[in-house]
Amino acid sequence: MKKIAITTLGCKVNQYESAAFQTGFEAAGCVMVCAKETADIIVINTCAVTAKAGTQSRQAVRQLMRRHPDAKIVITGCYAQMEAQELLTMIDKPLCIVGNGNKDRLVQAALSDSPCDLTMLMGQISRKKEICRLPVRHFADRTRACLRVQDGCQNFCTYCIVPYTRGPSRSLPLDEVLDQAAVFASEGHKEMVVTGIHVGQYGKDLQEGSDCVELMRRLCLAHPEVRFRLSSIEPMEISDELLTLMADQKNFMPHLHIPLQSGDDTILAHMNRGYSSKEFRQTVEICRERLPEAAIGIDVLVGFPGETEQQFANTCTLLEELDCTYLHVFPYSRREGTLAATFDQQVPQAVKDERVARLRRLDAAKKEQFYTNHMGTTRPVLVEHKRDPDGRLRGFTDNYIPVSFPGPKTLMNTLTAVSLESVSATQVNGRSSDEDNAG
155 binds ligand SF4 (CB under 6 A): yes
Number of residues that bind ligand SF4 (CB under 6 A): 9
CB of 157 to ligand SF4, least distance (A): 3
Task: Pick the closest to residue 259 from 292, 288, 277, 232 (CA basis).
Answer: 232
**Residues 209 and 203: beta-carbon distance below 8 Å:** yes
- Pure H helices in 239-303: 240-248, 265-271, 277-290
Does 153 bind ligand SF4 (CB under 6 A)? Our answer is yes
**147 and 194 in contact (C-beta within 8 Å)?**
yes
Q: In terms of CB distance, is 262 or 399 closer to ligand SF4?
A: 262
Contact between residue 345 and residue 305 where contact means Cβ atoms under 8 Å apart? yes
- What are φ and ψ of residue 220, in 5° steps? -60, -40
Binding status of residue 160 toward ligand SF4 by CB under 6 A: yes
Number of other CB atoms surrounding residue 218 within 10 Å = 16
Distance CA 241, CA 311 (A): 33
CA distances from 90 to 59, 61, 86, 330 (A): 11, 10, 6, 29
Give me the least distance between CB of 156 and ligand SF4, in Å please.
6
Minimum Å gap between C-beta 335 and ligand SF4 is 10
Under a CB-based contact definition with an 8 Å cutoff, are residues 244 and 217 in contact? no
Site for ligand SF4 in 162-221 (CB under 6 A): 162-163, 197-198
* Nearest CB to ligand SF4, comparing residues 188 and 274: 274
233 binds ligand SF4 (CB under 6 A): no
Provide the mask over 103-142, with x wherever binding to ligand SF4 is found by CB under 6 A and - wherever it is not. ----------------------------------------
The least distance separating ligand SF4 from the CB of residue 343, rounded to whole angstroms, comes to 16
3-state secondary structure of 371: helix
Nearer to ligand SF4, 167 or 430 (CB): 167
Contact with ligand SF4 (CB under 6 A) among 107, 157, 194, 319? 157
Angle, CA of 237, 243 and 245, to the nearest 5°: 115
**13 is an interface residue for ligand SF4 by CB under 6 A:** no
CB 272 → ligand SF4: shortest distance, Å?
Answer: 8
Question: Should residue 44 be labelled a site residue for ligand SF4 when binding is judged by CB under 6 A?
Answer: no
**Where on the chain is the footprint of ligand SF4 (CB under 6 A)?**
153, 155-157, 160, 162-163, 197-198
